[in-house]
Amino acid sequence: MTRPRLVLASTSPYRRELLERLRLPFEAVNPGVDETPRDGERPADLCIRLAREKARAGAARFPDALVIGSDQVAVLGELALSKPGTHDAAVAQLRAMRGRRVAFLTAIAVARDTDVRSRVVPTEVQFRAFTDAAIEAYLAADAPYDCAGAAKIESLGIALVEQVESADPTALVGLPLIALTDLLAEFGAPVLPADPPPGRA
């Protein structure tokens, strides 16, 4: 069986590095999607909408491909935290999160032509009661201004964390590979060959 073309609709280097773990050939493109939240939009709705829009945008350009879109939002109480973008915004986010439990919602979508399938993978993170000095040291070392909640867990950001709970350890980094593997299989493109039927080994 010929494996379909695989496209990652993302410019994130973190998502590219994660997808490389599956050892599948792929190309990465800019989805060109406006990530501005809609008025009154809930964080879970926001991340799944953006993941699906990114996948759809890529599928419109590459109708023969399986296109992957993903998005992540950090949720603190009723407040959604996205990418801080600046040092001051990152400091404010980290101060708000210290000593508290934060939900990171990571949405994954796969599209082929007009068929789009998606899931949301939650991760619960308990942050330490770290100091302002720790915030500044972390930001100077990692500059995580392109990470939701300024939380770069795969690097020095792990030192800010007491506990992580998730069904998918890759979700917090930005691309839940367990869910992605399931979705690719739904489209008939399993990452690994399927077991042969009984009696046909």
CA distance 35 to 46: 9
Tell me if 73 sits within 8 A of 80, measured CB to CB. yes
What does the alpha-carbon distance between residue 82 and residue 148 come to, in Å, rounded to a whole number?
Answer: 4
Determine which helix (DSSP H) or strand (DSSP E) holds 27, and give its type and residue range. Answer: strand 27-29
- Which of the residues 71, 113, 142, 182 is marked catalytic? 71
Q: Are 19 and 8 in contact (CB under 8 A)?
A: yes
Of 19, 4, 24, 17, which is closest to residue 191 (Cα–Cα)?
A: 24
Q: Which residues pair with 70 in a beta bridge?
A: 108
Is 71 one of the annotated active-site residues of the chain? yes
Q: Which residues are catalytic?
A: 71
